[in-house]
Structure 1
Amino acid sequence: MLENNLSQLEQLVGDLVQENKALQEANAQLRSELSQLQEENDGLQLSALEQEELHSATAARIQALVALATGNASPSPAQA
């Protein structure tokens, strides 16, 4: 009986070791994917900020042109 219990315990420990190894490999893969996604996210955020700056500058130029066209604005220093 003791030999049977010991064999079962050895089998369970072996199974747990294999499962632990598989989980560690999955964890390493997920960490790698997370790192890549974080880099991609950083790039997308930077791109979004650059687009926002361009949009703001374009909107300001359009507003200045509309104001100039309607005669409601004096020329900006860049136009003077």
Structure 2
Amino acid sequence: MLENTLPQLEQLIEQTIEKSNQLKKQVSELQEQKTKLIEENEMLQLAALESDEKQQQTEAGLNSLLSRLQEAQHDTHNEHEHHEHNEHEHHEHHEHHEHHHG
């Protein structure tokens, strides 16, 4: 009986070791994939953030252009007067805005 059991045990042990090695390999492969995915994800997030910023900048630029156009249309006759008044107003408003933002 023992003579029969030993070779079976040996075979089982070898199979188990082999299985274990395969699993270790799979795990390390998965870890590599995970690292790659994390890096890719970070790059994508950065790219998304950058494009968001660019979009906001573009929007802000367009808005200021629009308001300048509208102002030009409204105030062609009393441009000089309006300009001086507006600068003063804008300055105060800007300070207030900064305070509010902080």
Mark yes or no: TM-score above 0.5. Answer: yes
Q: Which has the higher contact order (CA 8 A, sep 6+)?
A: 1
1:43 aligns with 2:43: yes
TM-score, scaled relative to structure 2: 0.65
Letter in 2 for 1:30: L
Kindly provide the CA deviation profile for residues 16-66 of structure 1, in whole angstroms up to 9, marking residues without a partner as x.
100100111111111111111211111111111111111111111111111
Gaps in structure 2 of 5+ consecutive residues? 75-85, 91-102
- State how far apart, in whole Å, the 2-side matches of 1:4 and 1:62 are: 86
CA-based RMSD: 2.2
Q: Flag the structure with higher helix content.
A: 2
Letter in 2 for 1:27: V
- State how far apart, in whole Å, the 2-side matches of 1:49 and 1:3 are: 69
Percentage of identical aligned residues: 35
TM-score, scaled relative to structure 1: 0.80
1:63 maps to 63
1:10 maps to 10
Letter in 2 for 1:32: E
Which ranges of 4 or more aligned residues in structure 1 deviate by more than 6 Å?
Answer: none
